[in-house]
């Protein structure tokens, strides 16, 4: 390691860190983070506004659509289970 002399004239060993560069980089990172945060907030505001407009123009509310689709899923599941049971009965009857 290199030896450095401080302002008091005593020798120090270790790496020299320029505090102005560290302070400048911290300031730039802070400005960058604030810019990022503002950009993210504006983007989120735009996305929520677009989603609200999209939902408002739908013919039926999403809750009604979900209920209707859930009913279709239950009906289709019941039909599938019934067909499976009928097939299983027919298969076991043909084996006897």
pLDDT for 4-16, tens place per residue? Answer: 666 666 666 677 8
> What is the average pLDDT value for the chain, to the nearest integer?
89
- pLDDT number for residue 81: 95
Rounded distance, CA 67 to CA 52, Å?
20
Question: What whole-number distance in Å separates Cα of residue 55 and Cα of residue 64?
Answer: 12
Average of per-residue pLDDT across 71-88: 95
Average pLDDT for 17-40: 97
d(CA 66, CA 7): 74
Return d(Cα 87, Cα 81) in angstroms, integer. Answer: 10
Instruction: Name the more confident of 79 and 7.
Output: 79
pLDDT for 53-76, tens place per residue? Answer: 999 999 999 999 999 999 999 999
Here the tokens at position 10 are 């005593």
Banded pLDDT at 89 (limits 50, 70, 90) = confident
């Amino acid at each position: 390691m290199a030896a450095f002399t401080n302002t008091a004239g005593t020798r120090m060993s270790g790496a020299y860190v320029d505090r102005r560069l560290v302070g400048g980089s911290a300031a730039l990172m802070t400005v960058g983070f604030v810019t990022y945060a503002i950009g993210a907030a504006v983007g989120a505001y735009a996305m929520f506004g677009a989603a609200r407009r999209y939902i408002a123009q739908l013919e039926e509310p999403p809750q009604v659509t979900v209920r209707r689709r859930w009913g279709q899923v239950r009906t289709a599941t019941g039909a599938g289970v019934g067909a499976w049971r009928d097939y299983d009965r027919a298969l076991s009857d043909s084996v006897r």
